[in-house]
Structure 1
């Protein structure tokens, strides 16, 4: 663990929180306008759909490739330079997209964005450096709350800025990332002591090499499997939620936007204020299992809900899903040394990226065969039922390996 003075540690945690908010806010700003900009370049809605899907895959693919490299570089050179360079790179990326004259330059921006936003591997590793193992679940909960806060504010502000023009949110995003860079340049201390650094190796930094860390022993492999299943099930929302809400409940953009804002606000409360007290009472493993269990129940209720109000009510048990990710991260950080935290977070991000590519394709296909005439599975909520099964499976795996992980480090 870092030897930062308590006052500097508090300042560092505040910086990480602010940086995460600014970065996610910047990403959220462009959500309402990026599809419209793509359609402007593509010339038709049908072509825009294909390009938009391709852009999502590009971003996830670059996350898969870059995350282990970013994590390993932070293990070698420290977290601070990696985070600062990534913030500066994000600002340049948003400027490039604001000025993009055609789809190909916009695609270059998405590729660059996938690399620079991989800085979250270093951010998670930074938090592991400066917090004791028993406090990491709460620390990761704060990062999760920052993500939620950014996604609540980002699309709302981006929608208003989009009224000024489709490129205005990109300029604002560039400014926010630039502010994060300057803030860190003057405030952020280094968290990784020189004696805890490890030599950079392409063998460990490539995605497949990084995965060898996750295969080190059965507990870490099992927890990585939980991580994959958690992300896989979560992408049911990005894959089919909007289409499902329109088809089954007749919701429009306003209803969808309001629900997403409410979800983000609730998730911010759960991860920012609930994770800490619950983990102190139950421990990381039990808290993770509670989160996975309530998440599975909530998603199943969404697939069953015959009305929009019942779907909205299902968000309440589902919101406790937010207990799972920070506690899972905390359990995993205990399985590796200080000099491997960056590599671990890079490997985790690569696992999440694989899920981000596979899951939307899977749930999109399930949804397509569950609606309309001649549907193979005549129930529009089947994608949510399948996601609930995947999350329940994550709970079973977590129950089996979580206890071993805790016992191996004397935290049972």
Structure 2
């Protein structure tokens, strides 16, 4: 529960920032394309940092890496709030992104503690922390924005600082110090990890295209304000909490994660397509609901597939590598979505996201990852391998 609380509080800070960042950046003259690159900067830093932090946590432990990252998040949020120019805004997002790479370390910590039978439920609960971030983050951010456009970022910085202090006091160390580290191939060289990374990249590309442009989409098609956009993310968060905090654990106990994953991708495709086509509130709400349920099942399903495939002594590295694949999606998705928004139409990021998710679904089926009990075989590394 301590790890869950730490992650949830961290993601509340993230949720404070995401719904308002696009409109906030426009105060500094940012175009839709620039807003996309601002989201991408966060993820580019995460791309570089995630495997390094994961490997470091395998060596020195999960706790110190998480604490350092939380302090980095505090610095990044403060810099973003104090920005007096667009380039400072980019700097703040880069610092925050590198620090946010610690999520893979937290996922490894949960896997360290759980038995194979417990793991799907705990992975789902950790996924629910994302929903908590979307529930409370936008609400806090919307209230804080009443005090001025910079205030939400200062609130996020203060929250990260408190979280770091609490982690120093309460967070347990989960890495088993006596577990020998093998000399086998690194995570990126394992074929199954490469396939999981490709699928994860495509899914993340699609969802972050939606994330980065929805506030712009909503403002044009439905005249949504910053507060209204935050309300939409609040609704998404409530669905994620319900699905991942309760529903996923029960589903995964009956249906293997690898079979749940393609089903969830179908829902994501439908949800994104409906959102992009929506011109009425009823259709928009239906699309967002379907999308949220699909994403709520897809994310923990893929995490469980990675946990099963990774050698225990390289779990931090494997999760960091997978997190990097997500970061690539976040690097490319937002700027391309922003560019499509500017040049093609307000609907285009959602429809493109649906097409990319459909591509991920096809790969899952072609590679047969949905057929076996867990979809992916566990990796057994030969200690004598070069």
TM-score, with structure 1 as normaliser = 0.81
Aligned partners of 1:20 and 1:30: how far apart in 2?
16
Q: Is the 8 A contact 2:130 2:240 kept in 1?
A: no
1:401 aligns with 2:369: yes
Structure label with greater radius of gyration:
1
Match for 1:332 among 286, 293, 306?
Answer: 306
Report the alpha carbon displacement of residue 77 of structure 1 after superposing the two structures with TM.
0.5
1:18 corresponds in structure 2 to 5
Aligned partners of 2:31 and 2:164: how far apart in 1?
33
Report the alpha carbon displacement of residue 162 of structure 1 after superposing the two structures with TM.
2.4
Distance 1:403 1:85, change over 3 A: same
Q: Is the 8 A contact 1:95 1:174 kept in 2?
A: yes
Aligned to 2:369, the other structure's residue is in SS state helix
1:353 corresponds in structure 2 to 327
Residues 160-200 of structure 1 deviation map (CA, whole Å, 9 limit, x = unaligned): 2222233333332222112212222122221111122649x
C-alpha RMSD of the superposition: 2.9
Q: Is the 8 A contact 1:34 1:166 kept in 2?
A: no
1:28 aligns with 2:15: yes
Distance 1:91 1:386, change over 3 A: closer
Distance 1:181 1:361, change over 3 A: closer
Q: Is the 8 A contact 2:114 2:122 kept in 1?
A: yes
Q: Is the 8 A contact 1:75 1:339 kept in 2?
A: yes
Report the alpha carbon displacement of residue 240 of structure 1 after superposing the two structures with TM.
3.2
2:145 corresponds in structure 1 to 162
Distance 1:161 1:391, change over 3 A: same
2:384 corresponds in structure 1 to none
Report the alpha carbon displacement of residue 274 of structure 1 after superposing the two structures with TM.
0.7
Q: Is the 8 A contact 1:223 1:398 kept in 2?
A: no
Q: Which runs of 5+ in 2 are unaligned?
A: 380-386
1:67 aligns with 2:50: yes
Residues 125-150 of structure 1 deviation map (CA, whole Å, 9 limit, x = unaligned): 11111112333232222122111211
1:344 aligns with 2:315: no
1:296 corresponds in structure 2 to 269
2:75 corresponds in structure 1 to 92
Q: Is the 8 A contact 2:210 2:349 kept in 1?
A: no
Aligned partners of 1:134 and 1:168: how far apart in 2?
44
1:256 aligns with 2:205: no
TM-score, with structure 2 as normaliser = 0.86
Aligned partners of 2:136 and 2:119: how far apart in 1?
26
Distance 1:385 1:171, change over 3 A: closer
Report the alpha carbon displacement of residue 369 of structure 1 after superposing the two structures with TM.
4.7
**Aligned length in residues:** 375
Aligned partners of 1:311 and 1:52: how far apart in 2?
23
2:136 corresponds in structure 1 to 153
1:283 corresponds in structure 2 to 256
Distance 1:179 1:283, change over 3 A: same
Aligned partners of 1:19 and 1:335: how far apart in 2?
26
Match for 1:227 among 191, 195, 200?
Answer: 200
Q: Give the 5 Å matches for 1:195-234.
A: 195-196=178-179, 198=181, 213-217=187-191, 219-234=192-207
Aligned partners of 1:35 and 1:227: how far apart in 2?
24
1:384 corresponds in structure 2 to 350
Q: Is the 8 A contact 1:78 1:197 kept in 2?
A: no
Aligned partners of 1:240 and 1:27: how far apart in 2?
17
Distance 1:143 1:253, change over 3 A: same
Q: Is the 8 A contact 1:35 1:48 kept in 2?
A: no
